Structure 1
Amino acid sequence: MSTPFGLDLGNHNSVLAVARNRGIDIVVNEVSNRATPSMVGFGQKNRFLGEAAKNKQTSNIKNTVESLKRIIGMNYDDVDFETESKYFQSKLVKLEDGKIGAQVRLGGEQAVFSATQLVAMFINKVKNTVIEDTKGSNITDVAIAVPAWYTEEQRYAVADAARIAGLNPVRVVNDVTAAAVTYGVFKSEMPEGEQKPRIVAFVDIGHSTYTCSIGAFKRGEMKILGTAYDKHFGGRDFDRAITEHFADEFKTKYKIDIRENAKAYNRVITGAERLKKVLSANTAAPFSVESVMNDVDVSSQMSRDELEKLVQPLLERVTDPITRALSEANLKPEDVDFVEIIGGTTRIPCLKNAISEAFGKPLSTTLNQDEAIAKGAAFICAIHSPTMRVRPFKFEDVHSYSVSYSWDKQEEDEDHLEVFTAGSQFPSTKMITLHRTGDFSMEANYTNPEKLPAGVPAHIAKWAISGVNVPSGQTSVPVKLKLRCDPSGLHTIESAYSVEDIEVEEEVPRAADAPEDAEPEYKKVTKTVKKDDLTIVAHNFALPAEKLNELIEKENELFAQDKLVAETEDRKNALEEYIYTLRGKLDEEYSSFASDDEKTKLTDMLAKAENWLYEDGYDSTKARYIAKYEELASLGNMIRGRYLAKEEEKKQSLRAKQEAERMAEMAEKLAAQRKAEAEKQEETPKADAEGDIDLD
């Protein structure tokens, strides 16, 4: 049975959750943190993923790629690329398909990986974190939470990344929608039946994105009424504002320019993030970084008021997503019952004040600001599990833009139809009927491209539909198509089949005053019935099967290499530890259990092994480390065995002595007890024959 797994794919950190033990648990990583850095690094032999990449980022900055979710599915020529590129220290390049890749050095050689591959590497890492946490249980299904502004292409790219990592992406869900699911499932006392739904606004400001969604709740159900966002507003913008302030200050004060040194800039931006958090709880805080560059130590300070002045341009943008989300939901601020804030950046006091003023009401923090999205994703994954029973909960998201389907124009027919309108809910399905003269193709496109954000293509997908058989004597046949916007917000054609009209005899309903023995009457009626299933070949943004398999094999190779490097390092450390431990014990605990010849031989072997380890064997193979270990153990373990045998003999002797002492003590207690009972009987007065007590 697969354990349902939810992933909040964050820009700075990602959070993992699993559905188990009748609840939702957050999964901690290898260092017991409840969030894992969303980073991938590359070294001389292997990759560094998550915490390992974060730890090596400063020393390996050109080969560490972060902000993975910002570049997946994005074209290199996208208008947003210029904005995104300033947040990267690694080199981003244009791939053959026009997408973005990262150029790094792995194993001493230059390598280029696509953004989809990089996200797959990270997902594979967190998948194995979940496997270890759940003690080796089967992990196959995942629900991934992504920003609401993700295009259809980006959603396909994230789903492909999950498949490359060996997972089945059962759903790609909007992150704030996942948080709203957490709210709806675990909140009690919701309206029911004909009662007015509870209107809740969710404001999520994370590391890179600001999203506001309005949801309507009743017991067991939820609808998202409106969503708006600012995709370039988040904690990283506050960090960069602080860093740029100190960059100017240090240039004047210390005559150094951290903008010219990537490692120095990264050290300061890391310190700026810490300072931002301190200022959320304090009115002022010191700032210092040791040896930031050119062996110069820097120090300064900042007050909360200074920070608010620095980020004033950002604060002026707070109201816009809220206003647009309310407009899409056809609501006013006073119609909102509660305002829930999530995302780490909403802890900044000036932001909280601005959000509260925009709604004209106090804010609520009943959801865990860092974990609500991951928990909602895990619950959504559990809904799709065939073996897990979950609390019934129905939820629908909202179409931000209208989508139309078009087809080959024939005769006087229309050649397009707006199927999914902006503001309507999904998942949803629509049936349409077309009259076709033969095989044909269809396309899905955004109805109003001019309303799309800059860089978002109007085209969504194309389908080739074949198997249309037109009977002789007819010019066309009716074809029914089931058009669907699935739970992940992806537009598809779920089924297509031709129909025909046939005449059948149908019994006429008997009149009320008709005799019971009257003969039934029949009439001929025309019915439309299914004729042939048609073949649908989709041409969408998903990777072709051959390319997907190629990337799966590549990821498996890299994973195997990482595993081999880790195991080799473990064997090397085990050999080093064995050398020093055995050498120390040979002069102490093991001294009386080895002959002089054995001591001389083993001491010589340990010295040679140590010299080899730090010279020729410093960068050797797993097999060589195992062989060296076994060579030493062949004599060392024999001496150790004698020591352990003697120790066991001492333990047995001690146990026997303790047992004898316990038995003696027990016997002494029994003897004392018998003696006491005997004395008691002697002191008891005897009765005379008549039953009286003799007092003489």
Structure 2
Amino acid sequence: MSVVGIDVGFQNCYIAVARSGGIETIANEYSDRCTPACVSLASKNRMIGNAAKSQIITNFKNTVHGFKKFHGRAFDDPFVQAEKPKLPYSLHKLDNGNTGIKVRYLEEDKVFTCEQITGMLLTKLKETSENALKKPVVDCVISVPSFFTDAERRSVFDASQIAGLNCLRLITDTTAVALAYGIYKQDLPTPEERPRNVVFVDMGHSSFQVAITAFNKGKLKVLSTAFDPYLGGRNFDEALVDYFCEEFKSKYKLNVRDNPRAVLRLHQECEKLKKLMSANSSDLPLNIECFMNDIDVSSRMNRGHFEEMCAQYLMRVEMPLKVALEQSKLSRDDIYAVEIVGGATRIPAIKERIAKFFGKDVSTTLNADEAVARGCALQCAILSPACKVREFSITDVVPFPITLRWKSPTEDGLGECEVFTKMHAAPFSKVITFHKKEPFDLEAFYSNPQELPYPDHRIGCYSVQNVVPQPDGDSSKVKVKVRVNVHGIFSVSGASLIEKQKGDGDDMQIDSEPMVQNEGRGEEQNKMQVDPEGPSQQDQQSEENSSSSKVGPALTLCFLPQRQMIIQDKLVKELNDAKNAVEEYVYDLRDKLCGMYEKYVTQDDSGRLSLMLEDTENWLYEDGEDQPKQVYEEKLDALRRLGQPIYDRHREHEDRPRAFEELGKKLQLYMKFVESYKQKVSSARC
């Protein structure tokens, strides 16, 4: 069994695997190391990855991309509503209020959840891994942005289960990069020495993340994280698109925004232009043929003008850097290095601002595109029993403070406690002791809604049941265990009731376990023994393994459609392969009839066969355009019945000289054996 790390980006995905003592990035069937985060639904099947990206222009209403940020978000979410007009495909409000994606698939209007779409993408990445490794892939680690909330992380985790993956950990992008950086360093300070502090800056296509990490030999600890969830490479693309839309409106009288296909083409060209400007400061052309209404358009842009247009975005680069440095309680002099990753960090103006803020040159020792996937693969190798890796501990942080509120049916007022402060170490468990006489409810929520890049600050509601007073009428002591697990997901994982009993003059305590029920977005809980407060890694891992094997009822409903779509894709592929086999045989045999097979067939047979091949070719592009698989197989069999004898005669003629040569060699060998035997017989008689 292989273990892989998956970087699910807004625009592209990367897969890395730990094998042969190192980390490799896996290429897909197109020999590309990156797979576009695209899913295209069509009348017969789905296309995912590179094949789907090729459909963005021609099938734009049913090609889904840029869906990563819809995870766990309601349809009425302001971010979703702001994105809706920019999308070529349609969004739909689901029954639970979440965001669905409406497309036309198999000639019917279908609505898919974000988890299902991501599940399709992850299934494709899983297949790519298995084809490259020639082994089954189950265990994986998947990256998520550091600013993803509880609901968003649960949504990604659900998508991994739909894809049939055992996600050992959802790891934040910057933590994965830090692991990829630190695990190979041989010169890290010992635990007794001052740690090496490194800043990791990751600006991808849709977001900007910063983390400051302290390294010692065999471990890393995230000191702080900061982010701008809405600043990334696509902002710079959109600035160019807006500029050229206005220019083409005045120059060519074209209203580009009214044509979704034209907007998509312009986006593609602007992204290419942006990348060229990162490497070239001179004027660069932008030319698009037959852009709209059969009109060719052209323009020019240079880096200086581009940076002026994007000044509002460049100004936002410094703030996350400043926040991360302040939260880490370090000075600029304490920073050992500044590592940058992500495609958008290639923009010279962004590099300059990062270097200027920290007062030192930025480092590019890591692969800007693949570092996250490589870190995910390393973490998966560490967690999976299938691999043996050097020990390397990782301590992440809780990005947003979490508060717990409680209330009993007969109590007046509410109690509150901030159980996890901002930048608290994670994963981590805590035990809270309550004195209660009756069941009570717990509500978990993020403490500072104004700092949350998400409109709903609620996490989940939990009900602690079967709480009764002590025999003497006093309140019972109830211990409730809360935790942030390795996925960054909060849960109330257990509760125990402590009863006082008399025994031989000494009081003793017996722990029993009231049932903990959850509502809202809280996960289903296991009954379990409460452990002492602390980040017990063994306990954490055992619970993750048990929880990852559970599938909720909502997810079960997603598995059947997923399997049906996979079967449908397989049937369509087999059909296309059968059709292509007929076409390939027609072209191959026709060429050889006039070439290498010419002297092995009579002129009359050649004429009849050529006519049959021509008829088959015409049939393929007319009545045979859409036929069942069996029809194509019958056509191929009919052609082979005529072509096989010719092939056999050619092969026999080609193989006969070699056969005679081999026969001659064998005869010579036997003759030598006979002569040797005769000599031995003669010697014996003498």
Same fold (TM over 0.5): yes
- Contact 1:70–1:84 (8 Å) recurs in 2: no
How far does the alpha carbon of each residue in 1:424-464 deviate from its partner, in whole angstroms, 9 at most, with x for none? Answer: 111111112223434443221223334434x4312111223
User: Aligned AA for 1:500?
Assistant: E
- Contact 2:39–2:52 (8 Å) recurs in 1: yes
Equivalent residue number for residue 514 of structure 2:
534
* The one of 654, 657, 660 aligned to 1:653: 660
User: Aligned AA for 2:323?
Assistant: R
Partner Cα distance (2:285, 2:412) in 1: 74
- Contact 2:205–2:234 (8 Å) recurs in 1: yes
Judged with a 3 Å threshold, the aligned counterparts in structure 2 of structure 1 residues 501 and 298 are, in CA distance, closer, same or farther, namely: same
SS in 1 for 2:289: strand
1:640 equivalent to 2:647? Answer: yes
Judged with a 3 Å threshold, the aligned counterparts in structure 2 of structure 1 residues 593 and 418 are, in CA distance, closer, same or farther, namely: same
Q: What percentage of aligned pairs have identical amino acids?
A: 38
Partner Cα distance (1:48, 1:535) in 2: 45
How far does the alpha carbon of each residue in 1:541-586 deviate from its partner, in whole angstroms, 9 at most, with x for none? Answer: 3698232111111111111111211221111111111122223334
What is the Cα deviation at residue 58 of structure 1? 1.5
- Contact 1:579–1:606 (8 Å) recurs in 2: yes
Normalized against structure 2, the TM-score is what? 0.88
User: Aligned AA for 1:429?
Assistant: S
Partner Cα distance (2:228, 2:414) in 1: 37
What is the Cα deviation at residue 89 of structure 1? 1.7
Query: Bigger shift: 635-644 or 259-268?
Result: 635-644
Equivalent residue number for residue 281 of structure 2:
283
1:11 equivalent to 2:10? Answer: yes
What is the Cα deviation at residue 603 of structure 1? 4.4
SS in 2 for 1:362: coil
Equivalent residue number for residue 138 of structure 1:
136
User: Aligned AA for 2:116?
Assistant: Q
- Contact 2:405–2:442 (8 Å) recurs in 1: yes
- Contact 2:470–2:499 (8 Å) recurs in 1: no
Judged with a 3 Å threshold, the aligned counterparts in structure 2 of structure 1 residues 31 and 305 are, in CA distance, closer, same or farther, namely: same
Equivalent residue number for residue 630 of structure 2:
623
Partner Cα distance (1:141, 1:124) in 2: 13
What is the Cα deviation at residue 598 of structure 1? 5.2
Equivalent residue number for residue 162 of structure 1:
160
Equivalent residue number for residue 254 of structure 1:
252
Partner Cα distance (2:657, 2:173) in 1: 63
Correspondence list, 1:79-158, <5 A: 79-135=78-134, 137-158=135-156
- Contact 1:403–1:419 (8 Å) recurs in 2: yes
Normalized against structure 1, the TM-score is what? 0.87
- Contact 1:434–1:480 (8 Å) recurs in 2: yes
Judged with a 3 Å threshold, the aligned counterparts in structure 2 of structure 1 residues 291 and 150 are, in CA distance, closer, same or farther, namely: same
Equivalent residue number for residue 680 of structure 2:
none
1:555 equivalent to 2:595? Answer: no
What is the Cα deviation at residue 212 of structure 1? 1.1
What is the Cα deviation at residue 141 of structure 1? 1.6
Equivalent residue number for residue 187 of structure 1:
185
Query: Bigger shift: 65-74 or 443-452?
Result: 443-452
* The one of 550, 553, 556 aligned to 1:546: 553
Correspondence list, 1:678-693, <5 A: none
Query: Bigger shift: 397-406 or 118-127?
Result: 397-406
Equivalent residue number for residue 53 of structure 1:
52
1:421 equivalent to 2:421? Answer: yes
Partner Cα distance (1:601, 1:471) in 2: 99
SS in 2 for 1:337: strand
Partner Cα distance (1:290, 1:224) in 2: 50
Equivalent residue number for residue 537 of structure 2:
none
What is the Cα deviation at residue 291 of structure 1? 1.6
Any stretches of 5+ residues in structure 1 without a counterpart? 506-523, 665-696
User: Aligned AA for 2:557?
Assistant: E
Equivalent residue number for residue 403 of structure 2:
404
Equivalent residue number for residue 538 of structure 2:
none
User: Aligned AA for 1:140?
Assistant: V
Judged with a 3 Å threshold, the aligned counterparts in structure 2 of structure 1 residues 475 and 525 are, in CA distance, closer, same or farther, namely: closer
User: Aligned AA for 2:509?
Assistant: T
Judged with a 3 Å threshold, the aligned counterparts in structure 2 of structure 1 residues 430 and 412 are, in CA distance, closer, same or farther, namely: farther
Judged with a 3 Å threshold, the aligned counterparts in structure 2 of structure 1 residues 281 and 657 are, in CA distance, closer, same or farther, namely: farther
Equivalent residue number for residue 513 of structure 1:
none
Partner Cα distance (2:250, 2:310) in 1: 22
User: Aligned AA for 2:72?
Assistant: G
User: Aligned AA for 2:389?
Assistant: V
What is the Cα deviation at residue 500 of structure 1? 2.6
Partner Cα distance (1:143, 1:304) in 2: 38
SS in 1 for 2:368: coil
Equivalent residue number for residue 548 of structure 2:
none
Correspondence list, 1:559-574, <5 A: 559-574=566-581
What is the Cα deviation at residue 473 of structure 1? 4.7
SS in 2 for 1:140: strand
1:577 equivalent to 2:577? Answer: no
Any stretches of 5+ residues in structure 2 without a counterpart? 525-550, 672-686
Equivalent residue number for residue 206 of structure 1:
204
What is the Cα deviation at residue 43 of structure 1? 1.8
How far does the alpha carbon of each residue in 1:110-150 deviate from its partner, in whole angstroms, 9 at most, with x for none? Answer: 22222221111111111111111111x12112211111111
Correspondence list, 1:85-484, <5 A: 85-135=84-134, 137-284=135-282, 285-409=284-408, 415-453=415-453, 455-468=454-467, 472-484=471-483
Judged with a 3 Å threshold, the aligned counterparts in structure 2 of structure 1 residues 374 and 642 are, in CA distance, closer, same or farther, namely: same
Partner Cα distance (2:98, 2:123) in 1: 22
Query: Bigger shift: 183-192 or 654-663?
Result: 654-663
- Contact 1:72–1:119 (8 Å) recurs in 2: no
Partner Cα distance (2:371, 2:670) in 1: 62
What is the Cα deviation at residue 254 of structure 1? 2.4
Partner Cα distance (1:177, 1:586) in 2: 62
What is the Cα deviation at residue 248 of structure 1? 1.8
Partner Cα distance (2:520, 2:389) in 1: 33
Query: Bigger shift: 152-161 or 455-464?
Result: 455-464
Partner Cα distance (2:140, 2:331) in 1: 36
